[in-house]
């Protein structure tokens, strides 16, 4: 606790909100560090969105991460339940200067990922979610969040089987962002809405802390902050 207080005091000149959170952690015993798992779809229908996804992470996620937070980036492709699908895994150092350097390095890693010629024929969304949940469970973070950038259209390759356990997403807040509408979604919006409703049911049935679908990524920092502080999601589910 004394170490945490010293860190908070040293950060007052850098950011009062962060210092206040750290001091609050001393008082109530809660952890305020956050683990964020980002799933990025590289299948055919979503492959062209990768650059925009990386820009969103760099603009809405990285700047708001605090020392001690963890960011995990996974690729959604034809066989996503594979540790080779981990594009980045980083826990920010307790020293703010070092944490900022880590953020810059991670931004460069994401830029390189956005340029890679990746395109999968199938979309194994549940495999990536299962792998992400395993990593998140290993982290004793105060809050755990899974961000999914995809069209949310599951398309498993022949022979691939995925069964999500009843406690798969326990204590994990799942957020679908910038979900791309497919051609048939535009022709009949009910197809899209049903698809999203089905995912919400799957997440909640598997113990998920919460489910949200956010259209405007600018709302993400506030949403992540609310989850960090233990508040209920304030963004309406679409």
Q: Are 22 and 58 found together in one domain?
A: no
Q: Are 25 and 38 found together in one domain?
A: no
Domain assignment present for residue 127? The answer is yes
The percentage of residues in the chain with a pLDDT greater than 90, rounded to a whole number, is: 78
CA distance linking residue 157 with residue 79, whole number of Å: 8
CATH number at residue 187: 3.40.50.410
User: Which residues of 101-230 form beta strands (DSSP E)?
Assistant: 143-149, 172-177, 210-214
Buried-exposed string 65-81: b where 16+ CB fall within 10 A, e elsewhere: bbbbbbbbbbbbbbebb
Q: Are 79 and 43 found together in one domain?
A: yes
> Is 194 a residue whose pLDDT tops 80?
yes
Buried-exposed string 194-203: b where 16+ CB fall within 10 A, e elsewhere: ebbeebbebb
Q: Are 4 and 45 found together in one domain?
A: no
Domain assignment present for residue 223? The answer is yes
Q: Are 138 and 42 found together in one domain?
A: yes
Domain assignment present for residue 59? The answer is yes
Contact partners, residue 177, CB within 8 Å, separation at least 6? 56, 147, 148, 149, 213, 214, 217, 220
Domain assignment present for residue 238? The answer is no
Q: Are 223 and 143 found together in one domain?
A: yes
Q: Are 176 and 197 found together in one domain?
A: yes
pLDDT (0 to 100) of residue 238: 41
Domain assignment present for residue 207? The answer is yes
pLDDT (0 to 100) of residue 98: 96
Instruction: Note down the domain range covering 179.
Output: 33-228
Domain assignment present for residue 3? The answer is yes
118-164 tens-digit pLDDT: 889 999 999 999 999 999 999 989 999 999 999 999 999 999 999 99
Domain assignment present for residue 170? The answer is yes
Give the number of domains in the chain. Answer: 2
Domain assignment present for residue 234? The answer is no
Q: Are 115 and 219 found together in one domain?
A: yes
Calculate mean pLDDT across residues 193-200: 97
pLDDT (0 to 100) of residue 18: 52
Q: Are 45 and 67 found together in one domain?
A: yes
42-82 tens-digit pLDDT: 998 888 899 999 999 999 999 999 999 999 999 999 999 99
Q: Are 41 and 25 found together in one domain?
A: no
Q: Are 79 and 138 found together in one domain?
A: yes
Q: Which one has a higher pLDDT value, 182 or 24?
A: 182
86-127 tens-digit pLDDT: 999 999 999 999 999 999 999 999 999 999 988 899 999 999
pTM of the entire predicted model: 0.86
Q: Are 66 and 153 found together in one domain?
A: yes
27-45 tens-digit pLDDT: 556 789 999 999 999 998 8
């Amino acid at each position: 606790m004394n170490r945490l207080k010293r860190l908070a005091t040293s950060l007052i000149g850098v950011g009062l909100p962060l210092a206040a959170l750290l001091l609050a952690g001393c008082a109530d015993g809660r952890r305020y560090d956050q683990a964020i798992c980002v799933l990025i779809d590289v299948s055919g229908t979503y492959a062209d969105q990768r650059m925009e996804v990386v820009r969103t992470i760099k603009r809405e996620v990285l700047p708001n991460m605090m020392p001690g937070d963890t960011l995990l980036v996974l690729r959604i492709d034809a066989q996503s339940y594979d540790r080779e699908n981990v594009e980045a895994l980083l826990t920010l150092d307790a020293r703010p200067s070092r944490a900022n350097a880590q953020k810059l390095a991670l931004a460069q890693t994401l830029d390189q990922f956005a340029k890679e010629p990746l395109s999968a024929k199938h979309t194994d969304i549940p495999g990536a979610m299962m792998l992400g949940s395993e990593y998140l469970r290993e982290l004793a973070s105060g809050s755990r969040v899974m961000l999914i950038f995809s069209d949310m259209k599951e398309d498993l390759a022949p022979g691939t089987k995925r069964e999500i356990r009843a406690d798969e997403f326990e204590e994990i807040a799942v957020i679908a962002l910038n979900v791309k509408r497919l051609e048939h979604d535009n022709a009949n919006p009910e197809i899209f809405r049903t698809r999203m409703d089905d995912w919400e049911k799957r997440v909640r049935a598997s113990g998920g802390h919460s489910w949200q679908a956010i259209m405007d990524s600018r709302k993400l920092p506030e949403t992540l902050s609310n989850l960090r502080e233990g508040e209920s999601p304030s963004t309406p589910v679409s």
